[in-house]
Structure 1
């Protein structure tokens, strides 16, 4: 008689691997039965016929039933047919000990299907034992093989549960490794972009120095001329000063970009907070061209920290605010000193965030932007920088009503930080 391990979809791959061994075991018992009853052709014919019927059931009918119904229902039908085959051959062989081997052998594979599997197992075992005992089977033999089947099934079930737990642990570890690998790739990419930006800024800076010098010299020379035509006077009074002002703005942006993209370590030092805020506004300005930028910048003065990191925080928040705000909206930057602390707000009138988004906002690689528009690293870096400065960041947001990031920083952070993971993060509800 043929047996075949059944199982749920998550066990299917493992069961295919042991199917051949299961078939070999069933074939070996059938060969032993035929050898034992050789000459009793009625029994031999019954064993061969039942075996062929169950092979057909397990290889053809079972797959068809699985596609039409479900694996659990198909396995229930298979076990019913196996039970019928055991009862038929058991009656003919007067319940040979070899025949009883099939009882626990079937039970060992019958797990992991659905919530009713144990009930069907009990029905399977009860039906065979009822018929066996009523047709002259030895009660001790029936009890022995039934106990082997029950505890063999429970042991197999436990082992598979443990294997599944190990598989889940390995899967989680694999996902964590993938995330770490992806993080390393993103960090390398961002580092390369920073180096490229510094290189481009350097290349722009050289010719811009000549342009600045030449335009300034031209303006000074024309101012010294006494008899200028009206067009040239317009150039001296309006065109060249405006051009020079534009060139100086380009130079400031290039200088900011070069300093911002430097990858070397930046220690704590005193710096002018207001100057760095203006630097961040210049860098982010191109991303805010479609919105109205409002500034409420009080005189904060000198603070201690890492100025390049502060610019990174503000640029990230301003760019995010611009991307979340449609044309005609408002992005507002507020700074002020409050005692021995600095208060910063970046507020927008954009789409806002749901509670679910706020819960995951500062997690690495979490992003709501379309693929290719965000890595999910920006806000996690912002959070890390604020914490490293001994500060905290709060988020107020509501869908359809905009978002406000509120930063609170000490004038002088811990030197060095006693707890790199200090500070706190709160998403206001």
Structure 2
């Protein structure tokens, strides 16, 4: 080999050795980077697992579910986070420890010895116990058959006391940093906070129910008092008005009967006078015939008879109103009586007709079987009167009121529906409250519907309302039928 080839060979050999050295260095650098990336990836995945665990626990504390379900979910999430085989939890109730079913296996897991539970319920920190140190043969055998060598006990505190302990059973091939359990304890603090919030909420709900119950009792007593005073005053007023009207009506009716007799005599007398004038030629007779031709005396007598008939009908209507007022005034009596709900409606309509006739078209569909109930007819009449007057006053223009009665399941149902302006839900919620009214200062006291509600309840019935703005309102009243009318 010539010197030239030797020099070239040596140069190529040195270059190859330098390249191999450089390649080896780069390979080590790449491997180091890969190892670092793997480490960072593993650390990132551990952080993600940790974040997912804490997020899952945070979510379950926001879900509206029972306490037992929340603790079970926390125990299950902790078991997955620690790669455990199975788990369970226990809690203290009425001074006794209750151990619940196992999560992760269908086999029956023996309970820990009582002294282990007593010890952990007195502590405020987590602990890890080797199964071999528990000194329970049945538990040791079960765990060995499932390759479990230790149990982690995670206490959950509520108001400074341990109320629940979660048992997490780990297989012998699992290892992790102690800091991992710190996250379990942080999650336990979240669950403990949830337990405290739920306990406080229950106390608040109990207090609210007590306050609401007391408020309802005060409200009921107030409504009954208002009803009693209102009915007493209304009864006295109706009785006084009926009595005062009844006297003049009596003598007007009597005098009107006498007037009708006089009219008959005068009518007969004038008829004979006309015949006599037609057959006479004296000036007075001619004048009588002239007056008859000009004034039509026959028409006058006929018209007077019609006027008297109309007045007679009017007097009868006034008399009926007086009788209805008397019936209405008897509503405060202690004794009850049987009465027809249909007739009660008819009587009440006559009393309030003056409020309705100018802008209301009344439609009645009353049960032909004429339902009979037992109670105070005057009080039920007051309820119907309130409904009708309120419906008429709520109408901004002409409208309709529909009244129906029907029997159903030992009850009589009465509905009063109008085509007025209706009510929003905010008004419907308060409509039966005492002194609540949407009318002006001088237009209403807000007592009518409150009293009506009390009257219906006193009769063993119920009253409800449905309304839609721009459509109308419907009141539904259910009252028990008389026992022998069912």
After TM superposition, the score normalised by the length of structure 2 is: 0.45
Unaligned runs of at least 5 residues, structure 2? 1-213, 272-296
2:372, 2:482 within 8 Å by CA — same for their partners in 1?
Answer: yes
Distance 1:304 1:298, change over 3 A: closer
Aligned residue among 439, 453, 460 for 1:369? 439
Shift of 1:341: 2.8
SS of the residue 1:390 aligns to? coil
Shift of 1:204: 1.1
Aligned residue among 281, 292, 306 for 2:349? 281
1:216, 1:244 within 8 Å by CA — same for their partners in 2?
Answer: no
Q: RMSD of the alignment, in Å?
A: 3.4
SS of the residue 1:270 aligns to? strand
Cα offsets for 1:141-173 (capped at 9, x unmatched): xxxxxxxxxxxxxxxxxxxxxxxxxxxxxxxx9
1:201, 1:254 within 8 Å by CA — same for their partners in 2?
Answer: yes
Aligned pairs, number = 243
Shift of 1:272: 2.6
Name the structure 1 match of 2:238. 197
Name the structure 2 match of 1:357. 427
Tell me, yes or no, if structure 1 residue 256 matches structure 2 residue 297.
no
Name the structure 2 match of 1:239. 307
2:417, 2:472 within 8 Å by CA — same for their partners in 1?
Answer: yes
1:205-216 matches, within 5 Å, as 205-216=246-257
Aligned residue among 327, 339, 343 for 1:271? 339
Shift of 1:178: 12
Distance 1:271 1:347, change over 3 A: same
1:143-158 matches, within 5 Å, as none
Name the structure 2 match of 1:344. 414
Structure holding more strand per residue? 2
Distance 1:389 1:185, change over 3 A: closer
Name the structure 1 match of 2:383. 313
Which protein shows a greater Rg? Answer: 2
1:195, 1:263 within 8 Å by CA — same for their partners in 2?
Answer: no
Shift of 1:386: 1.7
Unaligned runs of at least 5 residues, structure 1? 1-172, 415-429
SS of the residue 1:400 aligns to? coil
Name the structure 1 match of 2:370. 301
After TM superposition, the score normalised by the length of structure 1 is: 0.50
Name the structure 2 match of 1:66. none
Distance 1:264 1:338, change over 3 A: closer
2:360, 2:399 within 8 Å by CA — same for their partners in 1?
Answer: yes
1:348, 1:404 within 8 Å by CA — same for their partners in 2?
Answer: yes
2:321, 2:350 within 8 Å by CA — same for their partners in 1?
Answer: yes
Shift of 1:189: 6.3
2:401, 2:418 within 8 Å by CA — same for their partners in 1?
Answer: yes
